Amino acid sequence: MECQDVLYTKEDFISIITLNRPERMNTISASMLLELSRALLKANEDPEVRVVILTGQGRAFCAGLDLLAQTQGGNKALLDGERVVTHLNLREAPPIVLFEMDKPTICAMNGSAAGYGLDLALGCDIRIMSQEAKMAAAYAKRGIVPESGGTWFLPRLIGWSKAAEIIFTGRTLSAEECLAFGLVSRIVSPEKVMPTALSIAREIGENAPLAVQAAKRLMRMGYEEPFPIHVHHVFLQLLPLLRTEDFLEGVKSFMEKRTPKFKGC
């Protein structure tokens, strides 16, 4: 990637996307929005990539949007001179791109997440959090709402009452509270965040990638579907999988009592 504020690397079948503004706690500038979306799309479209890890450089995962740039006019996404823009095109915004990705995503929360950064973390499928990190839902304390998915994710993840308490109070949650609420899968020591994320990514990547991606699509669709319609969609996803080489390899390796070698086809 050309932008050094968003780094893109690969380790075997794992794509690692790193927010790289440690001196500003990885706050998201206007240019980073586009670069982050491009990195996510690149990973999702790469047939060699099976899992994506999103993390940050330094002591924070992401402290939100760059408010200094906003106040100095450096980000014109929301303001156009004196006119408030209310018809934004968000189809390529990072939270939308992240939500619609078929590849499994893991947030390696090396540090705290706030505002936009919290919404990005919640948009990932799995969250591994440093025991020293925090989640700050301080939107109301800044005069705004969770602008990039928080009002959608939080009630679904932890229920209406708990989500309402966190959002309305603008509370900051410790890692232990995040684990108790079910907002993260695991909390680990800071030096174990990335190794743990990589270990889970490798475990996922050893499975049939087309099946994993289909399962993610079905989980996403299931948020809004009645059960009978969802079951119908399950079969529509299942039938093509039965014709893949990976399905035959899965059955054959089971019968031969060996580890399968999936190709993604």
Nearest in space to 120 (alpha carbons), one of 160, 93, 159, 87: 93
pLDDT per position as a tens digit, 39-54? 999 999 999 999 999 9
* pLDDT at res. 252: 93
Query: What span, in angstroms and rounded, lies between the C-alpha atoms of 157 and 142?
Result: 23
Calculate mean pLDDT across residues 123-150: 89
pLDDT per position as a tens digit, 178-215? 999 999 999 999 999 999 999 999 999 999 999 999 99
pTM above 0.95, yes or no: no
Calculate mean pLDDT across residues 99-125: 96
pLDDT per position as a tens digit, 66-111? 866 555 544 444 444 555 555 566 677 898 999 999 999 999 999 9
Q: Which of 20-29, 65-74, 107-116, 159-168 has the lowest mean pLDDT?
A: 65-74
Full set of structural domains in the chain with CATH: 6-205 (3.90.226.10), 209-255 (1.10.12)
User: Residue 130: is its pLDDT beyond 50?
Assistant: yes
pLDDT band at 18 (very low <50, low <70, confident <90, very high): very high
Yes or no: say if 27 and 21 are a contact pair by the CB < 8 Å rule.
yes
Contacts 24+ apart (CB under 8 A), 174-182: 174/134, 175/129, 175/130, 175/131, 175/132, 175/133, 175/134, 176/131, 178/129, 178/135, 179/129, 181/157, 182/157, 182/158
Calculate mean pLDDT across residues 147-156: 88
H-assigned helices in the chain: 30-45, 67-71, 94-100, 116-123, 150-158, 160-169, 175-181, 193-205, 209-222, 227-241, 245-255
The percentage of residues in the chain with a pLDDT greater than 70, rounded to a whole number, is 90
Yes or no: say if 71 and 22 are a contact pair by the CB < 8 Å rule.
no
Query: What span, in angstroms and rounded, lies between the C-alpha atoms of 255 and 156?
Result: 39
pLDDT per position as a tens digit, 229-243? 999 999 999 999 999
* pLDDT at res. 66: 83
Q: Which two tokens stand for residue 127?
A: 């969250």
- Rounded to 5 degrees, what are φ and ψ at 6? -130, 115
Q: Which residue has the higher pLDDT, 143 or 87?
A: 143
User: Residue 248: is its pLDDT beyond 70?
Assistant: yes
Mean pLDDT of the chain: 90
CB neighbourhood size of 183 (10 A): 22
Yes or no: say if 140 and 167 are a contact pair by the CB < 8 Å rule.
yes
Nearest in space to 55 (alpha carbons), one of 117, 98, 139, 11: 117
Q: Which of 116-125, 134-143, 167-176, 251-260 has the lowest mean pLDDT?
A: 134-143
* pLDDT at res. 88: 60
3-state secondary structure of 29: coil
* pLDDT at res. 3: 58
